[in-house]
Structure 1
Amino acid sequence: MLLPSWLVIPLGMILIGVACNRVLSADNLRWFNRLQRPRWLTVERWIPLIWTVVFIGVGWSAVLIWDQDPGSPNSWVLLGYYLVLELVTLSYTPIMCRLESLRAGTLIGATGWLLAILLAIAIQPRSTLATLLLLPYLIWSPIGTYTTWSMIQLNPDDA
């Protein structure tokens, strides 16, 4: 008996998230933590919670799309697209911190947002609710990307 998609997809997302965080070192995080932030960035302590809500929406969206036609070639392609979106999104911190490059972070953030827009367009004919569940990503991702871009101005040596 196969496990239900509402369990497999979120569990897979969590395992990928844990694996991506394993590649970060204490030195990578020290670099990021010493950077100046924009004065208007007052929600930094809430960012992990915000991304948790964002990923719950993305995961639920993936479950809805998968459950419409489980196992079909189109569902596999879309599920693969969700996977690519998650990998790009989760690569933001490890790549930016390993390269010590805010430009790399800005590029990754912008790429994730563009991928999310294209995903929303692709799934909209299949499910309005699945599309709406991507809204937290579509709203928050450009805020994070803009924040990273703003940090370049404050930390030019770390651009």
Structure 2
Amino acid sequence: MPVSRTRLAAAAGPLAAAVLGGLATDPDSRWFRRLDKPAWYPPPQTFGIVWTGLYAGTAWAAGEVLDRLGDRGRPFARAYALNLALNTAWTPLFFRAHRPWLAAAEAAVLTASTVDLVRRASTVSGPAAAVLAPYAAWTAFATALTTAIARRN
């Protein structure tokens, strides 16, 4: 079965977010290495592993919802695009601008946006909503982690 344009477009968003985020991330910078991080900060390799799975799931789930909605998918597509823009914005705020408090606030907005995506998806496809749920959980964790780093520094 050929892949629809809708699914390809849905997959392009997380791919772009991953590439842009990867380019902006600098865990080897002196600034980042000197940050006081909480004891529950995950091992560095965790982030790449988790984000790869989350981006793949997000692409599939968004494609599923948008395919099912067809012409009625514009509101979900807008919410999805906003979510990916928020997702992409966190990394330069934190790693490049060195603004952990601003990144924490942005992460909270991202989490709300992700919960909204889960809610929207749940009205269309239970499996898509279930696949998006870990993304919402991870962004909530990222908000807590970023806030903890901001407080300590």
TM over 0.5: yes
Which residue does the alignment assign to 2:45?
A: 45
Write the distance in 1 (CA, Å) between the matches of 2:125 and 2:25: 40
Q: How many residues are paired up?
A: 151
1:102 aligns with 2:103: no
Which residue does the alignment assign to 1:131?
A: 129
Q: How far off its partner does 1:20 sit?
A: 5.0
CA deviation map 1:73-120 (0-9, x unaligned): x31221221121111012101122333111011111111110111122
CA deviation map 1:94-152 (0-9, x unaligned): 12233311101111111111011112222211111111111111111111111111112
Write the distance in 2 (CA, Å) between the matches of 1:56 and 1:87: 17
TM-score calculated relative to the size of structure 1: 0.81
Write the distance in 2 (CA, Å) between the matches of 1:145 and 1:77: 25
Which residue does the alignment assign to 2:82?
A: 84
1:114 aligns with 2:79: no
Write the distance in 2 (CA, Å) between the matches of 1:63 and 1:69: 10
Q: Residue 9 of structure 1 contacts residue 62 of structure 1 at CA under 8 Å; is this kept in 2?
A: yes
TM-score calculated relative to the size of structure 2: 0.84
CA deviation map 1:24-79 (0-9, x unaligned): 386x9442333121122233321111111111121111010111133x0x312212
- State the SS of the aligned residue for 2:38: coil
Which residue does the alignment assign to 1:145?
A: 143
Structure 1 gap segments, 5+ residues each? none
Which residue does the alignment assign to 2:56?
A: 56
Q: Residue 57 of structure 1 contacts residue 136 of structure 1 at CA under 8 Å; is this kept in 2?
A: no
Give percent identity, aligned residues only: 21
Structure 1 stretches (4+) deviating beyond 6 angstroms? Answer: none
Write the distance in 1 (CA, Å) between the matches of 2:25 and 2:149: 21
Write the distance in 1 (CA, Å) between the matches of 2:96 and 2:82: 20
Structure 2 gap segments, 5+ residues each? none
